[in-house]
A and B are shown apart, each in its own frame.
Chain A
Amino acid sequence: MEHTSTLEKVLRASALTAVVIFFMFPIFWIILMSFQTNETILRVPPSMIFEPTLSNYRGIITGQLETNAATLEINFMRNLWNSVFLSVSSVAVALALGVPAAYAFARHKFRGSEDIAFTLLSFRFAPPLLVLLPLTLYFQQIGLADTYFGLVWVYQLICLPLILWIVRGYFEDISPDIEYAYRIAGHSWFATFRKIALPLAGPGIAAAGLLAFIFAWNNFIFALVLASADKQPVTVGALAFITASGIQYGQIAAGIVLSVAPTLALALYAQRYLVEGLSLGAVKG
Chain B
Amino acid sequence: MASVELQNITKRYKDLTVLDRISLTVAEGETLVLFGPSGAGKTVLLRLICGVVEPEDGRVLIGDEDMTDVEAEDRGVGMAFQNFALFPHMSAFDNIASPLEARKQTRGALKDGVEAVAKLLRIDHVLSHAPRELSNGQKQRTALARALVGSPPILLLDDPLRNVDAKLRFEMRLELPRLLADRNATVIYVTQDYKEAMALGDRIAVMSAGQIEQLGTPAEIYLKPANIEIARLFGDPTINLLDVTVRTGVHGFFAEISGVPLNLPGDVKVRDGQACVLGFRPETVSFVEAGDGHAIPVEIEAETPLNEKTVTLATTANGREILISRPAGTPGPSSGTAHIAIAPDKALLFDRESGERVGASLLSTVAEGEAA
Q: List chain A positions with a Cβ less than 8 A from chain B.
A: 175, 177-178, 180-189, 191, 196, 199-200
Contacts and interface: CB of A to CB of B under 8 A. Distances in A.
B72 A184 contact: yes
Contacts of B83: 175, 177
A177 B102 contact: no
B89 A181 contact: no
B150 A180 contact: no
Given A196-B87, A199-B89, A200-B89, A185 B52 contact: no
Shortest Cβ-Cβ A-B pairs, 5 listed: A186-B102, A177-B85, A185-B99, A181-B85, A183-B72
A181 B73 contact: no
Contacts of B103: 186
Given A187-B73, A199-B89, A181 B102 contact: no
Contacts of B101: 185
A186 B150 contact: yes
B102 A185 contact: yes
Most buried by A among B71, B74, B102, B150: B102
Contacts of A180: 47, 50, 52, 72, 79, 81, 85
A185 B97 CA distance: 9
A177 B78 CA distance: 14
A182 B87 CA distance: 8
Contact of B98 (A175, A177, A187): A187
Nearest to B158: A177
Contact of B73 (A188, A196, A199, A200): A188
Nearest to B82: A177
Nearest to A199: B89
Interface of B: 47, 50-52, 71-75, 77-79, 81, 83, 85-89, 98-99, 101-103, 146, 150
B70 to A, nearest CB: 12
Contact of A178 (B72, B77, B88): B88
* Best-surrounded residue of B77, B87, B101 (most CB of chain A within 10 A): B87
Contacts, number: 63
Contacts of B79: 180-181, 184
Given A180-B47, A180-B72, A185 B98 contact: yes
Contacts of B47: 180
A196 to B, nearest CB: 6
Given A178-B87, A180-B81, A187-B102, 9 more contacts: A175-B83, A180-B47, A181-B81, A181-B87, A183-B71, A185-B73, A186-B73, A186-B99, A189-B71
Contacts of A181: 79, 81, 85-87, 146
Nearest to A177: B85
Nearest to A189: B71
Contacts of B99: 185-186
Nearest to B47: A180
Contacts of A187: 73, 98, 102
B89 A184 contact: no
A210 B59 CA distance: 48
B98 A182 contact: yes
B87 A184 contact: no
A200 B132 CA distance: 14
29 contacts: A175-B85, A177-B83, A178-B87, A178-B88, A180-B47, A180-B52, A180-B72, A181-B85, A181-B146, A182-B87, A182-B98, A183-B52, A183-B72, A184-B50, A184-B72, A184-B77, A184-B78, A184-B79, A185-B73, A185-B98, A185-B99, A185-B101, A185-B146, A186-B73, A186-B98, A186-B150, A196-B87, A199-B89, A200-B89
A12 to B, nearest CB: 40
B88 A184 contact: no
A66 to B, nearest CB: 56
Contacts of A191: 102
A187 B83 CA distance: 20
Contacts of B86: 178, 181
Contacts of A199: 89
Nearest to B88: A200
Contacts of B52: 180, 183-184
A185 B51 CA distance: 12
Contacts of B85: 175, 177-178, 180-181
A153 B71 CA distance: 37
A180 B87 CA distance: 11
A184 to B, nearest CB: 5
Contacts of A175: 83, 85
Contacts of B78: 184
Contacts of B73: 183-188
Nearest to A202: B89
Contacts of A200: 88-89
Contacts of B51: 183-184
